[in-house]
Structure 1
Amino acid sequence: MQVSFACTDHGLKAPRNGEHSKQNATSPNTASQARARFRTVALIARSLGSFTHRYHHNLKESTAKLTGMKYRNLGKSGLRVSCLGLGTWVTFGGQISDEVAEQLMTIAYESGVNLFDTAEVYSGGKAEIILGNIIKKKCWRRSSLVITTKLYWGGKAETERGLNRKHIIEGLRGSLQRMQLEYVDVVFANRPDSNTPMEEIVRAMTHVINQGMAMYWGTSRWSAMEIMEAYSVARQFNLIPPVCEQAEYHFFQRDKVETQLPELYHKIGVGVVSWSPLACGIITGKYENGVPESSRAAMKPYQWLREKIMSEDGRKQQAKLKELAHIAEKLSCTLPQLAIAWCLRNEGVSSVLLGSSNPTQLTENLGAIQVIPKMTAGIATEVDHILGNRPHNKKDYQH
């Protein structure tokens, strides 16, 4: 950013005889005063010019000196979020103890992570309680955190689910009570609701923002058409549009984030907070020789994951992961680190949510920050060649 001042000789010359006689009578030294002001402004301009040039930061992405964490704007809003965030799905209140949850949050926060994501449905609300308890115990400044939650599944009653005005307002109040917070930074509409008019959803989200219960709102698992409809309704009625979409994104799930959402990012400023960069653990390599008894896929609620891994497509994916492991070895990183850095190469991705279940795993995943500079166009091409699933976009058809 450059600072410049436009200075003219207007007012520097002494007025002609007879002009502004009243002013001359009261201010005989107008010209000398104007020249003094000109010199002062010039000095300020020079000092500001060198200051802003010296300490200029790229607002699109900046790096914390102490931790190396990179920060990006959430979509095209002004909110700065760490490019890696910590999710609480299936872990907080579920797979791990409260003590381990605290360890994970501490490691993340001390590594520069400021984005912590949860939802009213995670572990029946326990995830929000644990998250709030840890924040209160650690005495972290609320202003240094970006807390996000998602609304849709709030309870068993018919009125405790969906995106109607009643549940958006009451559901968010419940989330705030469980987390012991006055507000969340982003509230997400978790899946589209065909039973509620889009105008009602957008008006309710605008209301909770205007009431100070949230700073921004976003969508989760919405189609590009649904997001565009929400944006159009917001513009039509002078309401607040969504700033980002939470979407699944990894080696084997690319189409939505790489073909549909970039257009929304450039046209209306909607960015992406992606989740499951390791495809529910498939990309870690632990399922290379089947399903270990201690893994998530061995649990009864995750029978669908087991079937996916053991399917023909699952075996093909494991074969591709073996090839990708050679690229990771060439870059001196692990396969999970390669996968996470690969997600972050996308300019529309504001942050990637990590779902670690132990400190060692989280520390490894956070190391993906060091791999981002190594994700050159050549490496991306190698990955595309192995995966063989690069989606075609409009630009491809134009060549």
Structure 2
Amino acid sequence: MEHRLLGRSGFRVPVLGFGAGTFGGQGPLFSAWGRTDVDEAREMIAICLEAGVSLFDTADVYSDGASERVLGEALQGRRHEAILSTKLTLPAGPAPNDRGWSRHHLIGGVEAALRRLRTEHIDLLQLHAFDAATPVELMLRTLDDLVRSGKVRSIGASNFAGWQLMKALAAADRLGTERFVANQTYYSLVGRDYEWELMPLGIDQGLGAIVWSPLGWGRLTGRIRRGQPLPEGSRLHQTAGFAPPVEDERLFRVVEAMDTVAQETGRNLPQIAINWLLQRPTVSSVLIGARDATQLRQNLGAIGWQLSAAQMARLDAASAVTPPYPYYPYWNGQFTELAPPAVPLG
């Protein structure tokens, strides 16, 4: 298993991580993802660890905490082999302070996550969303205290806009507190918005991308085809309201390009989608999910080989979109000498 630096933390993570959103399976969104119980989770964790996939990602809101509880129980006896990542700040309960990044919620949320995960520390704590109601300085000092206490090892963000990330990073530099080292982000062949601002920011500021939903909310499995209805078992029947929109013609164009690459490589479409991501700048790790052991083993086949330069170019062309202003001048060559260097983070 290849390992890469997580931003400028000096800490290395496997290029594939496991997203535990399928664990627990409660509520309309997460039950559509999967309903993995403790015994099934234990089996999948064993498969992951055997393959070198030691990063496990979850969040307090995944199945109302059930994902953390299942993951924590299933990891008993093997916690020392795992890198645990979880997230806070989305509404996690009915009380007014069960959300955001107030000192009250961050400290209480970490304590609750530690109990559910049955661990003494969280390796990577990420803020699940920006909180405009609380000063970033207060948030950073609280996270710094949590790191100094040993309850948290590293910190990151998820679903932030570029200016929000930069505001927090600049404040951390000014205050001398712990700094974000990771940006957990949506990125896929049918969701390339990450490249417009967040990727250059990651290169400049030393943030490692941890990619979620590499298959574009299930669109890149190969089951969705031109001229055919959405398959009955597709999770998009339940999650379409949450998933970013993708124009049908663009999706079909990407899938057909992937079909050509699949014929050349003998790989399936999910493996191709993940391998493409692993060759993109700033990507430290791609989170794979699975409803069962068979699907997990198939996704593990995304590593150990590489798409050729020609295949990458074909997929780039099929999935390309013109970014909005002010990003497009950098993409169409007008200001090439001013564009940030597309250099991976090591």
2:100 to 162, 174, 185: 162
Shift of 1:200: 1.1
Change (3 A) 1:247 1:173: same
Question: After the TM superposition, which segments of 4 or more aligned residues of structure 1 sit over 4 Å from their partners?
Answer: 305-309, 390-393
Partner of 2:198: 261
Answering whether residue 112 of structure 2 is matched by residue 174 of structure 1, we say yes
Query: Taking structure 2 as the reference length, what is the TM-score of the superposition?
Result: 0.87
The alpha carbon displacement at 1:314 in A equals 2.7
- Quick one: which of 100, 103, 109 aligns to 2:49? 109
Q: Which amino acid aligns with 1:150?
A: K
Instruction: List aligned pairs for 1:216-231, cutoff 5 A.
Output: 216-231=154-169
2:254 to 289, 314, 320: 320
> In 2, are the aligned partners of 1:82 and 1:351 still within 8 Å (CA)?
yes
Partner of 1:383: 315
TM-score, scaled relative to structure 1: 0.76
The residue that corresponds to 1:88 in the other structure is 20
Alpha-carbon separation, structure 2, partners of 1:244 and 1:308: 25
Q: Distance in 1 between matches of 2:308 and 2:244?
A: 35
SS of match in other structure, 1:243: strand
Q: Would you say the 8 A contact 1:75–1:243 is kept in 2? A: yes
Distance 1:324 1:367, change over 3 A: same
SS in 1 for 2:334: helix
User: 1 CA distance for matches of 2:164 and 2:244?
Assistant: 31
* Rounded Cα–Cα distance in structure 1 between residues aligned with 2:4 and 2:329: 25
Asked whether the equivalents of residues 96 and 357 of structure 1 are also in contact (C-alpha less than 8 Å), the reply is: yes
Indicate if the aligned counterparts of 1:291 and 1:306 stay in contact, CA closer than 8 A: no
1:357 maps to 2:291 = yes
Q: Is the 8 A contact 2:156 2:182 kept in 1?
A: yes
1:366-377 paired onto structure 2 within 5 Å? 366-371=300-305, 373=306, 375-377=307-309
1:277 to 201, 214, 220: 214
Structure 2 counterpart of 1:398, which letter?
F
Between the aligned residues of both structures, percent identity stands at 32
Change (3 A) 1:316 1:227: closer
CA separation of 1:393 and 1:96: change in aligned 2, threshold 3 A: farther
Distance 1:320 1:268, change over 3 A: closer
| Conserved? CA contact 1:384–1:390, under 8 Å | no
Name the CA distance, whole Å, in 1 between partners of 2:242 and 2:213: 13
Residue 118 of structure 2 corresponds to residue 118 of structure 1? no
Q: What SS is found at the alignment partner of 2:198?
A: helix
CA distance in structure 1 between the partners assigned to 2:322 and 2:275 by the alignment: 17
- More helix as a share of residues: 1
* Distance in 2 (alpha carbons) for counterparts of 1:393 and 1:147: 40
Q: 1:226 corresponds to which letter in structure 2?
A: Q
What secondary structure sits across from 2:21 in the alignment?
coil
- Secondary structure in 2 matching 1:120: coil
Alpha-carbon separation, structure 1, partners of 2:22 and 2:130: 22
Check if 1:191 corresponds to 2:129: yes
2:58 and 2:68 in contact (8 A); partners too: yes
Of structures 1 and 2, the one with the larger relative CO (CA 8 A, separation 6+) is 2
- Gaps of at least 5 residues in structure 2 are 26-30, 337-346
Q: CA deviation at 1:362?
A: 1.1
TM superposition shift of 1:388 = 3.1
Contact 2:22 2:36 in 1 (8 A): no
Quote the Cα distance in structure 2 between the aligned partners of 1:206 and 1:186.
13
Q: Is the 8 A contact 1:92 1:101 kept in 2?
A: no
Determine which structure has more spread, i.e. the larger CA radius of gyration: 1
